């Protein structure tokens, strides 16, 4: 997924095209750019494997079922190119005016889209402002970069002449863009999913209640639930639309459109659901690595939203109601939400039996909730507890080392956690990275570079590790599986699982194991 070819064809001192990968890593975006180069054509781009996979379409996308158009596979583009609009100087590669003609999200209709692409056939569903439905990309036999793009869904009504010459970013025509019209924003009003919406359309965001890590549950009345290995997510249900938010205030609706769609038909206006979005493996267990692959669009696993609490329902704040009451209300709501959204039920109160069962199933752990407890937003009071079975830890990324041998990107990631406001080294992790992840993370590291070490305490790093380190702003959180903590505070046998897009770095502390 290298951008070497892209860079080799362009002079960044002349062209206004993006040079560095500054795009958002949502993993599920597509764009179509109308490009008046030597010949007018459309550029079709899918975010896949940390870059924009790109095809030039001389006749645009087909709209009739079974219709085929030529699609010429071209070099990978940086994700930041998905927002590019303007004029490339004549004499430069691709010289001419570029319009952001359509944009949106897509859904791969197979389990492994990156492998399908390499095999020469990719099937996707687009949800854009002008385009919607299914298309297939198929490599022509023996034709190298020549592919076909095929409309595999029912006929789509053609775009009007006015919309065909209108940017989804600015509302300008090709002629206005060529003349250098000033940039302005345009509201999305197309056929696909609407944007987040205006202030007041959704209930106000709340801080989630947090669980305290313990070795064993304290005395008291406790019941237990599965600890899922996914992303914590709030569903803010408006009167018509639903917004999926991470616990650190990131809008994830475009990343998980099926979850929002499943909830929008339930009439849950002015409600908030709290749960975990997970990807399930072939044995039905939640897998953080699969969720990471979904974000990068290298895999398309089954996704589910397991909902375990209801802090707000139809305008009523339920946080001062006992947890049993909230769960019983939730039980009545969720069954109608379809297969994607599921109710996370209590497993009972027999801790020893449940722990042994969870361990036999290789589950990450258990969540315990004290009977009668309230929903304490933003607090880790101990009314909810977390008991880990598999040794995993969230850690802040502080830097990286140089790659060795044939590896590209970086060698290992330097990790840490906060203790009394100070970042403490936890060693490094050098395994668990796919090629797509190496490229994606390397691009983000370059944007977040800093000249000084962010650690307050790095005594457990060797002089050689410190000499070879490249430091980054401590703004990303990694999920790591490992065997144990060493006596000097490093992880033993760590494996990188993915990024915690839902976690704030300052919330990362060392969680000693049960």
Exactly one of 53, 227, 241, 243 is catalytic; name it: 227
Q: How many CB atoms lie within 10 A of CB 109?
A: 16
Buried/exposed 303-342: b ≥16 CB within 10 Å, e otherwise? bbbbbbbbbbbeeeebbebebeebbeebeebbeebeebbb
Q: What's the rounded Cα separation, in Å, for the pair 334 and 326?
A: 12
- 251 class by beta-carbon count within 10 Å (0-12 exposed, 13-18 middle, 19+ buried): middle
The two structure tokens encoding residue 356:
């042994």
- Report yes or no: 241 and 201 within 8 Å, Cβ to Cβ: yes
Q: What is the CA radius of gyration of the chain?
A: 24
CA-nearest of 305, 319, 288 to 253 is 305
Say how far residue 501 (Cα) sits from the centre of its chain: 7
Q: β-pairing, 384-388 with 231-237? A: unpaired
Q: Scan for tokens 């990343």, then name that residue.
A: 255
Strand partners, 400: 413, 470
Q: How many CB atoms lie within 10 A of CB 431?
A: 9
- Report yes or no: 204 and 244 within 8 Å, Cβ to Cβ: no
The two structure tokens encoding residue 45:
């781009």
Angle at 355 between CA 350 and CA 360, to 5 degrees: 130
Helix axes 435-447, 288-296, angle to 10 degrees: 70
- 138 class by beta-carbon count within 10 Å (0-12 exposed, 13-18 middle, 19+ buried): middle
Give catalytic status of residue 227 as yes or no: yes
- Report yes or no: 105 and 28 within 8 Å, Cβ to Cβ: yes
CA-nearest of 496, 514, 493 to 389 is 514
The two structure tokens encoding residue 418:
């906060």
Please provide the DSSP assignment of 50-77 as one string.
Answer: TEEEEEEETT----STT-EEEEEEEEEE
- Report yes or no: 308 and 340 within 8 Å, Cβ to Cβ: no
Provide φ and ψ at 385, rounded to 5°. Answer: -125, 155
Q: Scan for tokens 């839902």, then name that residue.
A: 502
Contacts with 449 (C-beta within 8 Å, 6 or more apart), sequence order: 470, 471, 472, 473
Would you name the residues annotated as active-site residues?
A: 227
């Amino acid at each position: 997924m290298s951008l070497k070819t892209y860079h080799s064809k362009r002079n960044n001192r002349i062209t206004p095209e993006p040079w560095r990968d500054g795009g958002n890593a949502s993993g599920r975006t597509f764009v179509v750019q109308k490009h008046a180069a030597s010949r007018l054509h459309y550029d079709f781009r899918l975010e896949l494997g940390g870059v924009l996979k790109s095809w030039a379409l001389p006749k645009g996308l087909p709209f009739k079922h079974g219709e085929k158009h030529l699609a010429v596979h071209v070099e990978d583009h940086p994700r930041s190119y998905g927002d590019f609009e303007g004029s490339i100087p004549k004499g430069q590669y691709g010289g001419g005016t570029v319009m952001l003609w359509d944009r949106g999200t897509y859904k791969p209709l197979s389990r492994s889209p990156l492998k399908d692409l390499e095999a020469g056939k990719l099937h996707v569903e687009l949800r854009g402002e002008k385009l919607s439905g299914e298309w297939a990309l198929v490599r022509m036999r023996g034709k190298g970069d020549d592919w076909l793009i095929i409309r595999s869904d029912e006929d789509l009504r053609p775009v009007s002449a006015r919309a065909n010459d209108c940017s989804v970013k600015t509302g300008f025509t090709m002629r206005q863009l060529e003349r250098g019209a000033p940039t302005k924003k345009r509201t999305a009003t197309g056929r696909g999913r609407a944007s987040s919406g205006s202030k007041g359309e959704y209930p106000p965001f709340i801080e989630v209640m947090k669980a305290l890590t313990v070795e064993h549950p304290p005395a008291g009345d406790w019941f237990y639930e599965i600890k899922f290995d996914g992303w914590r997510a709030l569903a803010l249900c408006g009167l018509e639309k639903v917004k999926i938010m991470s616990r650190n205030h990131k809008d994830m609706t475009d990343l998980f459109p099926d979850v929002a769609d499943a909830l929008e038909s339930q009439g849950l206006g002015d409600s908030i659901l709290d749960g975990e979005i997970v990807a399930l493996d072939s044995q039905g267990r939640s897998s953080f690595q699969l969720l990471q692959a979904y974000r990068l669009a290298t895999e398309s696993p089954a996704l589910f939203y397991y909902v375990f609490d209801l802090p707000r329902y139809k305008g009523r704040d339920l946080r001062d109601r006992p947890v049993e009451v909230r769960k019983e209300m939730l039980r009545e709501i969720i069954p109608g939400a379809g297969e994607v959204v599921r109710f996370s039920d209590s497993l009972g109160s027999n801790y020893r039996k449940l722990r042994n069962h969870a361990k036999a199933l290789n589950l990450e752990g258990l969540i315990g909730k004290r009977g009668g407890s309230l929903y304490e937003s933003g607090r880790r009071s101990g009314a909810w507890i977390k008991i880990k079975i598999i040794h995993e830890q969230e850690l802040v990324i502080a830097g990286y080392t140089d790659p060795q041998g044939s590896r590209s990107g970086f060698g290992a990631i330097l990790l840490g956690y906060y203790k009394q406001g100070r970042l403490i080294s936890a060693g490094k992790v050098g395994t668990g990275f796919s090629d797509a992840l190496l490229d994606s993370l390397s691009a983000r590291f370059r944007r977040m570079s800093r000249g000084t070490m962010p650690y307050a305490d790095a005594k457990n790093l060797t002089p050689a590790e410190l000499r070879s380190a490249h430091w980054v702003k401590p703004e990303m959180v990694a999920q790591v599986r490992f065997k144990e903590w060493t006596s000097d505070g490093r992880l033993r046998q760590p494996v990188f699982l993915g990024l915690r897009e839902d976690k704030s770095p300052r919330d990362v502390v060392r969680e000693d194991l049960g």
